[in-house]
Amino acid sequence: MFRVADIDVLRNSLEEIDFRSEKFVSFEISRYLNHYGLNADNLFPRQDSRNTHQFGYFPCATFRIACHYFSPPPEKVCGTVFIVHGYYDHAGLYGHLIKYCLRKDLAVVIFDLPGHGLSTGAIASIDSFSQYREVFSACLRLAQTAGLCKPWRVLAQSTGGAIVMDSCLATCDESTDRFESIVLLAPLVRPQGWLSGSLLHTLLEPFVETVARKFVVNSSDEEFLRFIRESDPLQSKVLSARWVGALKQWLVEFEKYTPCAARIAVVQGAEDTTVDWRYNLKVIEKKFPKAVTYMIAEARHHLANESEDIRERLYSILDNVL
């Protein structure tokens, strides 16, 4: 069992990650991996001593960013997928997608955003979405230096989708050349109820730093919902007013970007009540004219952790676009 009391101990014990060199797996790391199902026995489709998992951190500005690298044996790897998680999430919740990629002989890089999981930073908060983009860019530079297997692909959920879109729009030509495929799962542009929420934020921001988080039903998987409510010590219990302010500013910047020719695939659940997906799909298509959208009936927001039957429908789409 991984507990709140273990978080700082593990975070402070992490060494700087080396994608090409495995390090000793401490008791604290082992307990964390087992708690979230990130242990090798659970993730890799075949037991092989040449399967590798590197876990550590990389520095970016003032942050120490917790990062994982999973890889099948070198002769089997046919590319690398960078997974970018959503708000309130962390790498420990992405076992299903990691397992899917490894079944396809794709190596996986996944990191915790600042203020999330085992990365440093104010909990579930950020001053500017540009800081997220800088962390993503730092991860890609590290992967380039390490010579991680190409072609590269990106798979991003919700806020992770906003980060990837921001990166693509800020460096369109580079992003178009860098990634063979870019897949966004229920990408965030504007949350559901944004107009009233934005007004409330304007009124309350001078007086309130955080508000209590309401755990919403964003998946059909009851076990997942129960886990994040009751058994995940890395879950934030608050919504940061600073994060909402950063989103407001990012929306202004997003509108100003010139459209990008990058080919992206968007997968969206028709029962998503977390993001304003009807609005979002329209503006995404304006910024990315080559975007292709795939709808999944009955799916809610957290596509990475939907019920098994919906995940299978997601995997069928990923088979064709990732």
The amino acid occupying position 43 is: L
CATH value at residue 257: 3.40.50.1820
* Number of domains present in the structure of the chain: 1
pLDDT confidence of residue 24? 79
Distance between CA atoms of 182 and 24, rounded to whole angstroms? Answer: 33
On whether the pTM is more than 0.95, the answer is: yes
Question: How would you write the pLDDT of the chain (322 residues) with one tens digit per residue?
Answer: 899 999 999 999 999 999 988 887 899 999 999 999 999 999 999 988 899 999 999 999 999 999 999 999 999 999 999 999 999 999 999 999 999 999 999 999 999 999 999 999 999 999 999 999 999 999 999 999 999 999 999 999 999 999 999 999 999 988 888 999 999 999 999 999 987 667 556 655 666 788 899 999 999 999 999 999 999 999 999 999 999 999 999 999 999 999 999 999 999 999 999 999 999 999 999 999 999 999 999 999 999 999 999 999 999 999 999 9
Distance between CA atoms of 113 and 90, rounded to whole angstroms? Answer: 7
pLDDT confidence of residue 265? 99
Report DSSP state, residue 47: -
pLDDT confidence of residue 199? 56
Query: How close are the terminal C-alpha atoms of the chain, in Å?
Result: 34
pLDDT confidence of residue 207? 62
Report DSSP state, residue 242: H
* Cα-to-chain-centroid distance, residue 298: 22
Report DSSP state, residue 113: P
The domain in which residue 125 lies consists of: 4-321
Which are the contacts of 215, defined by CB distance < 8 A and separation ≥ 6?
225, 228, 229
How far CA 33 is from CA of 10, 92, 161, 189, 225, in Å, comes to: 11, 8, 25, 32, 19
pLDDT confidence of residue 201? 64
Residue that is written with structure tokens 């964390």 in the block: 32
